[in-house]
Amino acid sequence: MAEYWNISPGLEAKAKAFLSAKPEADVNLDFEIGVKDFVNAGKGSAEVKNVLKRLGVDPVVLRRIAVASYEAEINVTAHSNGGIMHSYVYADLVYIRFEDKGPGIADIEQAMVPGWSTADELVREMGFGAGLGLPNIQKNSDLLHIESVAGGSTTLEIIIYYA
Amino acid sequence: MAVTDKRYYHAIQIVPDNCTGCTSCVKVCPTEAIRVRNGKAHIDATRCVDCGECVAICRFHAILPKSDPLDIIHKFKYKVAILSSAYAGQFTEDIPYPTAKKALLELGFDEVAEEAFVTDFMISLIRDYIRQHREIRPILSSNCPAVVRLIQVKYPSLLPNLLHQEAPMSILTRFLREKYMAEKGLSDTDIGIFLIVPCVAHVTAVHQPEGAYKHLQDGAFSIGMIYGKIRERLRKMNDENPVIDTYEQGLTWALAGVEAEMVDTNDIRALSVNGMPNVLEILSKVEDHYLDQYDYIVLRSCTNGCVGGCLNVENPFVAMSRIKKLIKNASKQDIDVSELKSLYKEGEFDVVPLEPRSIMQLDQDIKQAIQKMKKLNEILVLLPGLNCSACGSPTCYALAEDIVSDKASIDDCVVLLKRHQKEED
């Protein structure tokens, strides 16, 4: 199993404490992501965006959340055998966990390099696969955690604080 | 009067006596601003963006567009009409455009100017603005007042992306005011400038301009309202070769796709979007940074652009075809824009940074908002999910939202009521 962590400076203790406690969220949304389903991929993050607008989350933060969750959702549909997006909304942060059904990321460090991509022909034809997905997620989130089993499933977690 | 909240002017009015409570308008509203309560439609003035979708769909003449009565022009010494480019598409081809333009003078105006006059200048202004604001991508067009208000209401994170300069008819208004004051020795209050407009959003923008620093127009008349009067004059005029300047090559402004094509160049990539459902989808994608590869996006809420406005008389596709023909046959004109350029440099067309009109928030306090959201989700699972609008709210989600905001009750759901009745039988 391979693992990757990236946490914004100053937020390490707070974010890790959150992950180990994982308090029950008041609002959670689950969204199923199909294989190469570019028609529907993006709807999960659109729903999250709608909820956050109703909570009055700052517009700049809202766009960061929109980008990170949208990119991650596209990743699942483009590269995996399908999966689920679980979104948990709290009063101070949003925590989103993507779980897929494989086939796993062979080399996570390599996948984090901007421009590096394993996208196939179909994905590139759809206008994706520029190799900026994971770097963009990292850039826009306060915590990014990836856990992947070669040949098995991948879990990607992000946390973004509102302030 | 069924429009609440006096802070916002709207050029739409509900006639309760004609309203059947059919909910057609409720379903079509892009900001979910309309509810049917006690059998009549009501508009939430903070949410309404004056797009006119409800005016177009109502079959009962219960939602009427407002524009000004023509006789207000007589309050002014010098009366000027500015024509929206959509006007040129409203007449059959046996009526030459110069004649249709001249007929307006017969209605009592001293001068008729065309939006089309500033088109070339607008294109250079837009290109300059895009190049001056490299840090913002994409820049969003701001000439459609319904789009500007839609962004204020539903996509406030995109406000900095809006092109912060006046729309062409307002630019022309500032230019003409300066010109007539200088040339004719008139004072600002002597000059009455009026727009002939294709849509309710433009009427609203005249009465409540967003971000305007200066005195703009004094009234707005709908194309539909003056059309009958113009036809009457045309019959009497019998004028084969009217002597009047026209600017056919600039009529492109009425057509959504053409503006983008004109702005698009080596270093500027432009996208054109029109029709409300497309505008909503594209703005959501811009929010996700999915369209950052574009430098400029032209957004018009009506089909095909201003020719699709609900105050026009002609079908948007027919009007577009006629305008395209006029442009094709137009002779090349060199319009002196030096005066416009210097006004632009002086900041005459700048607008105040636009402010959001937040409607989405369930509560000012985020903790309260989350509790309401939790309750909303609990209510949502009880509702049938048919989105039938029979309760008077546009969707089951909107009803749940209305319930947590104490604006409706779960008993408003007709489907649940029927189910309960069956259980009791």
Cα within 13 Å of Cα(B55), Cβ side: 23
Structure tokens at B160: 């900095």
Task: Give the pLDDT confidence score for residue A112 in this predicted structure.
Answer: 84
Tally C-beta pairs within 8 A across A and B. 65
Separation CA B313–CA B323 (nearest Å): 14
For residue A36, tell me if it sits in a domain: yes
Cα B6 from chain centroid? 20
Per-residue pLDDT at B161 exceeds 70: yes
Name the residue among B287, B361, B367 with its Cβ closest to that of A91.
Answer: B367
Residues from chain B that touch A70, judged by Cβ atoms under 8 A, are 288, 290
Per-residue pLDDT tens listing for chain A (163 residues):
889 999 999 999 999 999 999 999 989 999 999 988 888 888 999 999 999 999 999 988 999 999 999 999 998 998 889 999 999 999 999 999 999 998 988 888 888 887 777 777 777 766 676 667 888 899 999 999 999 998 899 999 999 999 8
Residues from chain A that touch B356, judged by Cβ atoms under 8 A, are 59
Contact B360 A42 (CB under 8 A): no
Share above pLDDT 90 across residues of chain B, in percent, rounded to a whole number: 84
Name the average pLDDT for chain B: 93
Contact B287 A51 (CB under 8 A): no
Task: Give the pLDDT confidence score for residue B391 in this predicted structure.
Answer: 96
Separation CA B83–CA B220 (nearest Å): 10
- Rounded to a whole number of angstroms, the distance from the CA of B380 to the nearest CA of chain A is 13
Q: What percentage of chain A's residues is helix, strand, coil (to nearest 5)? A: 35, 25, 35
For residue A45, tell me if it sits in a domain: yes
Name the residue among B157, B356, B374 with its Cβ closest to that of A26.
Answer: B374
Q: What domains does chain B contain, in order, with CATH numbers?
A: 1-66 (3.30.70.20), 70-345 (no CATH), 361-425 (1.10.15.40)
For residue A130, tell me if it sits in a domain: yes
Q: Are B24 and B15 in contact (CB under 8 A)?
A: no
The amino acid sitting at A36 is K
Residues from chain A that touch B360, judged by Cβ atoms under 8 A, are 50, 53-54, 56
Write the pLDDT tens digit of every residue in B280-316.
999 999 998 889 899 999 999 999 999 999 999 999 9
Task: With CA atoms as reference, report the closest residue to B14 among A3, B35, A81, B262.
Answer: B35
Task: With CA atoms as reference, report the closest residue to A54 among B373, B352, B284, B410.
Answer: B373
Q: Are B307 and B319 in contact (CB under 8 A)?
A: yes
Residues 6+ apart with CB under 8 A from B11: B50, B65, B66, B67, B200, B201, B203, B204, B207, B220
The amino acid sitting at B314 is E
Write the pLDDT tens digit of every residue in B308-326.
999 999 999 999 999 999 9
Residues from chain B that touch A49, judged by Cβ atoms under 8 A, are 284, 287-288
To which residue do tokens 């005195």 refer? B215
Residues 6+ apart with CB under 8 A from B321: none
Mutation choice for B interface testing from A24, A26, A141 by most B CBs within 10 A: A26
Q: Could you list the residue range(s) of the whole structural domain that residue A118 is in?
A: 2-19+30-161
Task: With CA atoms as reference, report the closest residue to B364 among A163, A57, A60.
Answer: A57
Structure tokens at B383: 């509702």
Sign of CA dihedral B76, B77, B83, B84: negative
Contact A55 B361 (CB under 8 A): yes
Summarize the confidence of residues B206-221 as an average pLDDT: 91
Residues from chain A that touch B151, judged by Cβ atoms under 8 A, are none
- Helices marked H in B267-336: 276-287, 316-328
Angle at alpha carbon of residue B389, lines to B387 and B393, rounded to 5°? 105
To which residue do tokens 């399908």 refer? A82
Separation CA A66–CA A71 (nearest Å): 8
Contact B284 A51 (CB under 8 A): no
B108: left (phi over 0), alpha (psi -120 to 50) or beta: left
Name the residue among A26, A53, A70 with its Cβ closest to that of B371.
Answer: A26
Name the residue among B159, B284, B289 with its Cβ closest to that of A67.
Answer: B289
For residue A51, tell me if it sits in a domain: yes
Separation CA B136–CA B267 (nearest Å): 15
Domain count, chain A: 1
Task: Give the pLDDT confidence score for residue B1 in this predicted structure.
Answer: 36
Contact B369 A55 (CB under 8 A): yes
Task: With CA atoms as reference, report the closest residue to B91 among B100, B104, B102.
Answer: B100
Name the residue among B159, B356, B366 with its Cβ closest to that of A55.
Answer: B366
How does residue B11 score in pLDDT terms, banded at 50, 70 and 90? very high
Summarize the confidence of residues B191-206 as an average pLDDT: 96
For residue A24, tell me if it sits in a domain: no
Write the pLDDT tens digit of every residue in B352-382.
999 888 788 899 899 999 999 999 999 999 9
Kindly state the greatest CA–CA separation across chain B.
Answer: 83
- Rounded to a whole number of angstroms, the distance from the CA of B360 to the nearest CA of chain A is 5
Residues from chain B that touch A26, judged by Cβ atoms under 8 A, are 370-371, 373-374
Say if residue B138 is preceded by a cis peptide, omega within 30 of 0.
yes
Contact B369 A63 (CB under 8 A): no
Structure tokens at B346: 């002086």
- What residues in chain A have their Cβ under 8 A from chain B's Cβ atoms? 26-27, 42, 45-46, 49-51, 53-57, 59-60, 62-63, 66-67, 70, 89-92, 162
Structure tokens at A157: 């977690």
How does residue B239 score in pLDDT terms, banded at 50, 70 and 90? low
Name the residue among B284, B364, B366 with its Cβ closest to that of A91.
Answer: B366
In this predicted model, which residue has the larger pLDDT, B332 or B73? B73
Strands in B139-140's sheet, in edge-to-edge order, are B139-140, B296-300, B270-274
CATH number where A66 lies: 3.30.565.10
Name the residue among A56, A60, A70 with its Cβ closest to that of B366.
Answer: A56
Per-residue pLDDT at B5 exceeds 60: no
How does residue B3 score in pLDDT terms, banded at 50, 70 and 90? very low
Contact A56 B373 (CB under 8 A): no
Task: Give the pLDDT confidence score for residue A102 in this predicted structure.
Answer: 81
Separation CA A93–CA A52 (nearest Å): 10
Per-residue pLDDT at B2 exceeds 80: no
Contact B288 A56 (CB under 8 A): no
Task: Give the pLDDT confidence score for residue B325 in this predicted structure.
Answer: 95
Separation CA B400–CA B276 (nearest Å): 25
Task: Give the pLDDT confidence score for residue B6 in this predicted structure.
Answer: 64
Task: Tell me the three state secondary structure of residue B263.
Answer: helix
